[in-house]
Structure 1
Amino acid sequence: MPATTTLFRAARPVFQQSASRTFRTNFSRQTGRRFASTTATGEAASQTWFKRMWNSPIGLKTVHFWAPVMKWALVIAGISDFARPAEKLSLMQNGALTATGLIWTRWCFVITPQNYLLAAVNFFLGCVGITQVARIAMYRSSQKNLPEAVEAKAAEVKDAVKS
């Protein structure tokens, strides 16, 4: 007999009704309820927004709230650097801000409790960093592409000014 026929004959009991019933009883959850209720009952329903935020695992009295709030200062500082000329920006600093923003954005969805406020600030920090790195790269590439004639002309003008 071919190997496939033998394989299917050997696997036949797995697909029979009694085998699936055995699987369900051995490996399924033993609780009678399939889903937990999501309705607010009791004390949680009567709490105010402030009380819920205060007692939350990412609430007002935790570092999970205040760290992202303070990190917005980095985003605002990066946005204020849009007004600076590209030759005065640091590639290493903006590269570090970009990497920090992108890496921590991902991490905010992996940790428990998931912190969406921290993910948002890190996402915007990465966006600001990418924008600044792109500005620096465009400026440096434009400086490399200047023709030598312009540089020679600039040297002539400097000599004329000195004399």
Structure 2
Amino acid sequence: MPATTTLFRAARPVFQSSATRATFSRTTGFRANFSQAGRRFQSTTAGEAAQQQQSWFKRMWDSPVGLKTVHFWAPVMKWALVLAGIGDFARPAEKLSLTQNAALTATGLIWTRWCFVITPQNYLLAAVNFFLGCVGVVQVSRIALWHRSQKNLPAPASEVENAVKS
């Protein structure tokens, strides 16, 4: 006998019991959930209407990612790292730290993904981490291009003379 036939035969007594039939009858169960699907509802309920009348500040204060939580202030402070990275665009690439910028890149990319996994989802934190990752990618690219250009340059005259003497 195929495995599916055995599975259906084993499950049949469960669905034939009186308790199960009562659960999936017309008044309850699946049909009750889908019977209201075609009805129109008001656009807002009383609770939503009251919430819309609240001020922006009150909604932000009471929000799970609002002004009184670390979910708001951590991304706000992290923008300083993004601005510092943008400020480093003017610095020469030889003065930039590869390990520091690689760490900022990894941090930005990893935490951007993590912001969509955690609860509550924090889009402000995701945005700052995305831009931190972008700034890090630009800086690491600049450093890598500078290192590549240094390998292709001819050696200075003093190094050539020392190599010839030895």
TM-score, normalised via structure 2 length: 0.71
Among 22, 25, 41, which residue is 2:23 paired with? 25
Q: CA RMSD in A?
A: 3.6
Correspondence for 2:67 among 32, 43, 60: 60
Match of 1:41 among 46, 49, 56: 46
Amino-acid identity (%): 63
1:151 aligns with 2:155: yes
Cα distance, 1:40 vs. partner? 4.8
Cα displacement string for residues 89-139 of structure 1 (whole angstroms, at most 9, x for unaligned residues) = 000110111111111112211222111001100010011001111111111
- Distance (whole Å) between structure 2 residues aligned to residue 23 and residue 142 of structure 1: 76
User: C-alpha separation between the residues in 2 aligned to 1:20 and 1:138?
Assistant: 71
- Give the CA deviation at 1:64: 1.1
| Distance of 2:6 and 2:158 partners within structure 1 | 87
Which secondary structure state, in structure 1, belongs to the residue aligned with residue 67 of structure 2? coil
Aligned residues: 146
Which consecutive residues of structure 2, in runs of 5 or more, have no partner in the other structure?
162-166
Aligned counterparts of 1:8 and 1:65: Cα–Cα separation in 2: 52
Distance 1:142 1:38, change over 3 A: farther
CA distance in 2, matches of 1:60, 1:139: 43
CA contact (8 A) 1:13 1:19 kept: no
Query: Which residue identity is paired with 1:25?
Result: T
Q: TM-score, normalised by structure 1?
A: 0.72
Pick closer, same or farther for the CA change 1:29–1:134 going to 2, 3 Å. farther
Q: Equivalent of 2:134, from 110, 127, 131? A: 127
